[in-house]
Amino acid sequence: MRLQMTLIVAMSFSTAVSADIFQCRQANGQMVFSDRACADNARIVTVDPVVTGGRLDTGTDVETWQPASRERRREPKGCDQGYIQSTQLRTFRARRQVQAGMSAKQVRYILGEPDVRDGQWWVYEHKGEETGRYKIVGGCLDKWR
């Protein structure tokens, strides 16, 4: 027990001693700081209070370059329906059923390639007769008749 106490006291003194900072002047005149005495003319530097963190520079407020802020367009990405799971898409395809807000790719998957493209309207025909007209605006299904 006494050995343990002596060991603890010795270790605590060793940490206090190793925390010293020495300032030495080299032969070329350069000032060097070290945790060990580096020359005969080494002097101990006291640092009060010891503070961890903070800024390394002292009082120089440098303005850093910031890119100019740009107004971004607030256009929504994608269509209103958004992502539709593949199981639901297969169900829509089997029923040949579409919904407003589907993407043009989803409409093409469900109904196939249009027979006629008349501007924004996709026209589907069967045996020469029109079976449906679908308006695609901005890559999304807007309405149909």
Q: Where are the beta strands (DSSP E) in 40-144?
A: 43-45, 116-118, 121-126, 129-137, 140-144
Query: Would the pTM of this model clear 0.75, i.e. be above it?
Result: no
Q: Look at residue 104 and tell me if it is in a domain.
A: yes
Render pLDDT for 83-138 as a digit per residue (tens, 0 to 9). Answer: 999 999 999 999 999 999 999 999 999 999 999 998 899 999 999 899 999 999 99
Q: Look at residue 34 and tell me if it is in a domain.
A: yes
Going by pLDDT thresholds of 50, 70 and 90, the confidence category of residue 75 is low
- Domain of residue 134: give its range: 86-144
Q: Look at residue 40 and tell me if it is in a domain.
A: yes
The count of domains in the chain is 2
Could you tell me where the DSSP H helices lie in the chain? 2-18, 86-95, 104-111
Q: Look at residue 125 and tell me if it is in a domain.
A: yes
Q: Look at residue 12 and tell me if it is in a domain.
A: yes
